[in-house]
Amino acid sequence: MWIKVMIKRTLFFGNPAYLNTRSEQLVVNFPDKDKTEVSIPIEDLGYIVLEDPQITITNGLLMKLVQNKTAVITCDKQHLPCSFLQPLVGHSEQTERIRHQLNASLPLKKNLWQQTINSKISNQAVHLAKIGKNALKLKRWATEVKSGDSQNHEAIAAAYYFQNLFDIEGFSRNQKGIAPNNLLNYGYAILRAVTARALVSSGMLPSVGIFHHNKYNAFCLADDIMEPYRIYVDAMVCSITKTSSDYKELSSDLKSLLLQIPAIDVVIDGKKSPLMVAMSRTTNSLYECFLGTGRKILYPEYE
């Protein structure tokens, strides 16, 4: 039996525009009267990125987007995603699901974090090997991750991984560091929104993590669950640096490439599917672990 999976669209608005709704459509008008009105079915939309500060959006449209579980992402003055609009009710069983999430035992959360870091480091190892770098240490560290990652293999592996990922003198992973940190920041922000959207749709709170617990972070669980998926951003950015020397500035073309992240194909549970669909499988499997009917989080395997 074949099941058709609908790939939700990602829209990016980098210029002034007026966004409203009519007949279940997102309607776009522009200050430039020579540009014609554009309409897109709201049901087709998964993500909307609002970058220009002169974008106007109606409350009626926001309501319909939220009801459609469309992620509305706004950007700051540095053009980086800074906020994410999510529905108050993302699942019909939300109260019950949140209760199971909040009641998760410490041993369970430590086990889930162990699975998460094992998957993340394993994916990093495959990626390094794929681009011709030595990945033996990463492969070993992946097998040594203990409950709760008590020996902090994540940080050890990340330091080695980023030291070897780019052939760029002076590069280190730092949000305010030299390029391509700018591309990584943007890609990770999009991935964070994808993860948060999937968690809300699965009836869980993105703010209550299994490992991350910063009281100032409203997306602790999203930051946990996105870890093994970071590799797809890394791979895209790595490819950009090898095929272009013009990546110091986050251009519209580069943003367009990175905004394809939700739709790229990944392999999860032996099957290929778009990343946004795979993320929903991951968050659903996480809930099954909280419920007690499952013991394993489904994470993608990088190829």
| 120 and 77 within one domain | no
Per-residue pLDDT, averaged over 227-236, amounts to: 98
CATH code (residue 55): 3.100.10.20
What's the token pair of residue 229?
Answer: 């998926």
Count of domains for the chain: 2
- The reply to whether 141 and 260 lie within a common domain is yes
Separation CA 250–CA 95 (nearest Å): 41
Together in a domain, 147 and 171: yes
Q: Are residues 143 and 201 in the same domain?
A: yes
End of a domain among 62, 85, 108? 85
Question: Closest by alpha carbon to 125, among 156, 82, 89, 81?
Answer: 156
Q: What is the pLDDT of residue 6?
A: 59
User: How confident is the model at residue 5, as a pLDDT?
Assistant: 47
* 160-188: pLDDT as tens digits: 999 999 999 999 999 999 999 999 999 99
Strand order in the sheet with 18-22: 38-41, 25-29, 18-22, 56-57
Same domain, yes or no, for 135 and 78?
A: no
- Structural domain includes residue 273: yes
**The pTM is what?**
0.92
- In which domain, by residue range, is 98 found? 94-291
Judge whether 173 lies within some domain: yes
CA–CA separation, 216 vs 213, rounded Å?
9
Whether 250 maps to a domain, the answer reads yes
Which residues are known binding-site members? Answer: 154, 212, 227
Encode pLDDT of 24-47 as tens digits.
Answer: 999 999 998 888 999 999 999 999
Are 247 and 285 found together in one domain?
yes
Q: Give dist(CA 183, CA 185) in Å, integer.
A: 5
Residues near 156 by beta carbon (within 8 Å), at least 6 away in sequence: 141
Same domain? For 76 and 195 the reply is: no
> What pLDDT was estimated at residue 79?
86
Same domain, 162 and 22: no
Annotated binding residues for Mn(2+), as ranges?
154, 212, 227
Whether 1 maps to a domain, the answer reads no
**End-of-domain residue from the set 85, 102, 132:** 85
- Residue 296 inside a domain? The answer is no
Q: Are residues 81 and 101 in the same domain?
A: no
Q: What is the pLDDT of residue 155?
A: 97
How far is residue 77 from each of residues 65, 73, 80, 186, measured CA to CA in Å? Answer: 24, 14, 7, 13
Q: What is the CATH number of the domain that holds 246?
A: 1.20.120.920
Look at residue 3 in the predicted model and tell me its pLDDT.
Answer: 38
Same domain flag for 75 and 100: no
